A and B are shown apart, each in its own frame.
Chain A
């Protein structure tokens, strides 16, 4: 299972990549494997200020529906247009490349200290093994 060491992880199986005060957020390789073929990703929170643990979107797989939770607080500034149904509409990118082309949203963080609550690669590996 692919768990890059340069990312942060939430217990809800999201990954966070930090560049300045911008966090790019996606679904881990483990999570996409558990969900199976993704058919739709709904994110209607672009422009909104959300608290950590609030729901920012929903993913639909063939078998199951799963909510997506904010791993950190902040303003949702972008939804990956390759996934967005109004643009590329290609949610299978998350299955194919969960840490790359399959990123989901970008967030302008409001409290960078929350990053300390997230797991590093090693801790996340322990959680899912």
Chain B
């Protein structure tokens, strides 16, 4: 099992550790609810350096990225980032990712830890134009500092005016005395804040310099789920279409160049999708879980739960799942089968919080 540069620090803090995507990661330090609410109301810090990072450079970089990603990379300005996905050839998703434009002909991709090797091989297999690709996953560490007070906590550590960085933009600079950091106004919590990319061996000093509540992957999951952000492997995968997953906004069918599965997505859009990823609230105390079946009121199977949790902010169970399109309208009553019981639930608008 791989470790991050902070594994020992997590253990010393008493974190409950578990394997995630091949890494020994902190799941929870104190309590998921406490960590979750710290991010919503104040500021929390997450070690997410298991995430993968690729550099794509040179005169062919844009051409490669336009081919493999669904969003339109030509629209990106220097110091701007873009949420996107890598479609496969059959209308599914290889991974979701963030594309950063560091400079002309110099891009930085951030991918899911569980997919580093798969994504690398996939992008390479599309690289007929021979853009330069570097896997920097082992060299780069990543901390997410999230919450309404993230800017205030970080501003004392850098000369860059953090308030001037718009959402999904970034700056390169010095933070906590560490040069060449990427300070990015992005995150996976929906509570604002920054993601900080630094050389891996600098992670301990950056971690120690930041005064925020340590938060584990457990709270990261409840935070993203309340905002209905997709988690690869749960809500999206090789079989799910970005249009079905509600990711039409990052699937630019009018992009001038072709990208993988573009024709499939165009046809899907014309014909209409048959299932859709929706949010639902459970009117019961039981919590929906991944792979529970979703039923209509006649108890016929209409879909499957992809993510579920107890929402710390709402104090009720919530979930995401795919349902047949006829049942996707907010307000529709559904049942969630735990295997032994049927829980009453209803489709709702997302985000939940």
**A62 CA / B32 CA spacing, docked (Å):** 7
B 141-193 contacts with A by CB, 8 A: none
User: Please, which residues of chain B bring their CB within 8 A of the CB of A42?
Assistant: 285-286
Judged by a CB distance under 8 angstroms, whether A47 is at the interface is: no
**Which A residues are CB-close (under 8 A) to B218?**
36, 62-63
B27, B310, B338: which has the most chain A beta carbons within 10 Å? B310
What residue of chain A has the Cβ atom nearest to residue B31's Cβ? A37
The A-B contact count (CB < 8 A) is 45
Residues of B within 8 A of A61 (CB): 310
Please tell me the number of chain B residues within 8 Å of chain A, measured between CB atoms. 18
User: Which residues does chain A contribute within 8 Å of B16, judged by CB atoms?
Assistant: 33-34, 36
B67 within 8 A of partner (CB): no
Contact between B287 and A37 (Cβ–Cβ < 8 Å)? no
Within 8 Å CB of B338, what residues of A?
Answer: 65
Please give, as numbers and ranges, the residues of chain B lying within 8 Å of A64 by CB-CB distance.
289
By the criterion CB–CB under 8 Å, are B309 and A62 in contact?
Answer: yes
Closest to B219 in A: A62
Answer yes or no: A123 CB below 8 A from chain B CBs: no
Instruction: Give chain A interface residues in 22-40, CB to chain B under 8 Å.
Output: 33-34, 36-37, 39-40
Residues of B within 8 A of A62 (CB): 32-33, 218, 222, 287, 309-310, 312
Chain B min CB distance to A85 (Å):
6
Identify whether the interface residues of B are mostly helix, strand, loop, or mixed: mixed
A64 to B222, CA, bound (A): 12
Q: Known contacts A58-B286, A60-B286, A62-B218: does B28 contact A36 (CB below 8 Å)?
A: yes
Size of the A side of the interface (Cβ < 8 Å), in residues, is 15
Contacts A62-B218, A62-B222, A63-B218 given: A39-B31 contact, CB under 8 Å?
A: no
Question: Whole-angstrom distance between the alpha carbons of A33 and B29 in the complex?
Answer: 11
Chain A residue numbers with a CB within 8 Å of B31 are 36-37
B92 CB → nearest A CB, Å: 27
Q: Chain A residues near B310 (CB, 8 Å)?
A: 39-40, 60-62
Q: Indicate if B221 sits at the interface (CB-CB under 8 A).
A: yes
A36 touches B32 (CB 8 A): yes
| Cross-chain contact of B286 among A36, A37, A40 (Cβ < 8 A) | A40
The 4 nearest A-B residue pairs measured at CB: A40-B285, A39-B310, A62-B32, A60-B287
22 A-B pairs within 8 Å (CB atoms) are namely: A36-B218, A37-B31, A37-B32, A39-B285, A39-B310, A40-B285, A40-B287, A42-B286, A60-B285, A60-B286, A60-B317, A62-B32, A62-B222, A62-B310, A63-B27, A63-B32, A63-B309, A64-B289, A65-B286, A65-B287, A65-B289, A85-B285
* 5 extra interface residue pairs, beta carbon distance < 8 Å, beyond A40-B286, A60-B287: A37-B32, A42-B285, A63-B32, A65-B289, A65-B338
